[in-house]
Structure 1
């Protein structure tokens, strides 16, 4: 993501992967398609996969190290904060240094974070591992998004954007279910997943070092240049931004809750000690989000946002019903509905937001969206974790879901009014 640079960027849904709106074609040395595109796609999926692996282990960490739900959500939130810091500090670094060195640096940090997780013996280790992991993802995000567009096959130019959009939720889903399987049925439950990821990241690093450089300006602008992104919403679009960002906040409040406390809630409702259940809950949410994004990829942005908000409200209502009945079956159905609404609402709102600013200011507006998204992912989750220590998981979940449902209803009404006003303005032109 670029701030005050000459190459403004936009972002794909769900993870904040940075994508230039008009990415230049690759340089002659970096022919589109081929192994480079597959390598970068694998890096994207693996980084997102690794980010969701701890979610499947949080319940185990709580049991082994006597951690409170509040501490678990702090560990989760630290990741969101450090991803944001990495994005704001290093989001456009690959424009000057090149995609390869920035991706390589991100992978080295990812390997270091997996090592910290594998060796973890308590809360301090988890905090350090999550912080390094967040910086790795934040550093690599801009380079991944740009490289996928630049290296997309010539006969399938839209594939880069599609991988940017679907890759993160695919990775989150695979990470949840894969870690759940390993934790439940394989030896060394707190280290095996991370050791396997170290090997996978090492293979990706070798592939990145061999792939062609695709950044047109790499090495031409004075080497290392650290320019923090400016956070700014242009005055003419602030009212529309305020409407659409309500959806961003609602979406990522749900995402943060599910990725931090969702597995614990699922195990509680199912009255199960099988850690696969927790990972499967994350996988179900992410899988439904991916399916919705792929199905609605060609639908108009505001209509997609409205459909997503309707799905979120329905899913949240079903979650509340599941909590009231104590029904695990209803909870799983609710998670699937909630995931589809999550994916659609974020896809639609982010696409609508990306069209608000002219290209010269799009990076600044994108940075502002990131701030709201990552704060919404982290702050409500931490508050929910702290309240869980006082009121218990069940009561806290009911209150949280009811509050987010009210926010979704407000966002839906505001988005419908915005859509009506947009149609009216279009009909008078």
Structure 2
């Protein structure tokens, strides 16, 4: 029986919220190790450079999953790809729980990255396809707000467990195993939404599509007509996730240093503050035009980066925390606006492909600058490295703002002459 037929009676809205929960949970689990990095450093004597390598390995394996399987759900269907991603996520949580040194930590992070990379294209496309008809903008909103909600919950939740719960490096991941198992049941029961998924498992267990064996990964392509707009909008994605990568790898350490605190909750709360402010901004700007939202977000990012530099120059924890909130609001708005504008470029049969392409750039922006920051931290110290990093990202934001303003002006001009 066709998998979509098996779930034909599943309500459209329930499937949407199942996929939204998967997105939040995967992002939550990806940020949990960030709150634990300080603990891992102390227990195993790891340097900041090693920590950023652990973080970057996650991003690299996400990229591998995106590049190999980013468009796979366009032909195999969203449900089987999401299910496989959740199974891998459960395996990675088990590896984290059993880690007693750097080796298993690296293995867990790698499997986790592959799980997220495998599921990302399917999640983004399914949210657009299953969006409730009464709220057509909700799919893009959840696509952009889901990561920030998950990252924020992961940061604060892990911080609480590290500070107050027994065996936090085990308990945290066991709780996530249970949560992933529940969402896996939801994915199995949801309806299929991919427009080109025509086949299901045959008697031999192979997956077919339109009568052919099609299990080979697909190359990610950007439609020729959309490449100019894609290049402009992706600058904002790169700027946003460069900030995210820095905060998720070295942000808790920097916060503890400025706060002169040993409370692990403070490190996790810094990540949560960034992500929480991002989520609030996305909710407030959910109905604002996409390019205008991106411009507002870029202005917020520039303001937040200026305040971060001021806080670092003064050595002031209060200024740094205010700066983090402003930066988070800009991050959320810029990601929402650019993602909505990018999602409008894709044809229905290639939504998974384009979504995967967006996240390829996002995870490159998360990983490469974070690794460089970790290496420079070992040489120049955390404070000087942070100043240099924020200044570089500010220059990128200024370039993205200029390009987006030009794109918005051109779009208005084309609309008025149509």
Distance (Å, rounded) in 2 between the aligned partners of 1:116 and 1:88:
24
C-alpha deviation, 1:172, in angstroms: 1.1
C-alpha deviation, 1:84, in angstroms: 2.0
Matched residue of 1:191: which SS? helix
Q: What is the 5 A alignment of 1:61-210?
A: 61-153=40-132, 156=135, 158-210=137-189
C-alpha deviation, 1:76, in angstroms: 0.9
Q: CA 1:59–1:224 in 2, change beyond 3 Å: closer, same or farther?
A: farther
Q: Does 1:384 align with 2:373?
A: yes
Structure 2 unaligned spans of 5+: 201-207
Aligned counterpart, 1:265: 254
Distance (Å, rounded) in 2 between the aligned partners of 1:352 and 1:343:
14
Contact 2:144–2:335 (Cα < 8 Å) also in 1: no
Tell me the matched-pair count: 405
C-alpha deviation, 1:135, in angstroms: 1.1
Distance (Å, rounded) in 2 between the aligned partners of 1:144 and 1:202:
17
* Comparing 393-402 and 365-374, the one that deviates more: 365-374
Aligned counterpart, 1:21: none
Aligned counterpart, 2:19: 40
Contact 2:74–2:352 (Cα < 8 Å) also in 1: no
How high is the TM-score relative to the length of structure 2? Answer: 0.88
C-alpha deviation, 1:389, in angstroms: 0.3
Contact 1:56–1:263 (Cα < 8 Å) also in 2: yes
Match of 1:352 among 322, 341, 347: 341
Contact 2:125–2:355 (Cα < 8 Å) also in 1: no
Aligned counterpart, 2:332: 343
Distance (Å, rounded) in 2 between the aligned partners of 1:159 and 1:234:
24
Distance (Å, rounded) in 1 between the aligned partners of 2:126 and 2:236:
29
C-alpha deviation, 1:201, in angstroms: 1.5
Residue by residue over 1:370-408, the C-alpha shift from the partner in whole angstroms, topping out at 9 and shown as x without a partner, is 332211110010000000000000000001001111121
Contact 2:72–2:218 (Cα < 8 Å) also in 1: no
C-alpha deviation, 1:295, in angstroms: 1.5
Q: CA 1:42–1:241 in 2, change beyond 3 Å: closer, same or farther?
A: closer
Structure 1 unaligned spans of 5+: 1-23
Aligned counterpart, 1:286: 275
* Comparing 358-367 and 165-174, the one that deviates more: 358-367
C-alpha deviation, 1:358, in angstroms: 6.2
Contact 2:125–2:352 (Cα < 8 Å) also in 1: no
* Comparing 259-268 and 228-237, the one that deviates more: 228-237
Match of 2:404 among 394, 400, 415: 415
How high is the TM-score relative to the length of structure 1? Answer: 0.86
C-alpha deviation, 1:39, in angstroms: 3.4
Residue by residue over 1:113-147, the C-alpha shift from the partner in whole angstroms, topping out at 9 and shown as x without a partner, is 01111111122111110110111112223333344
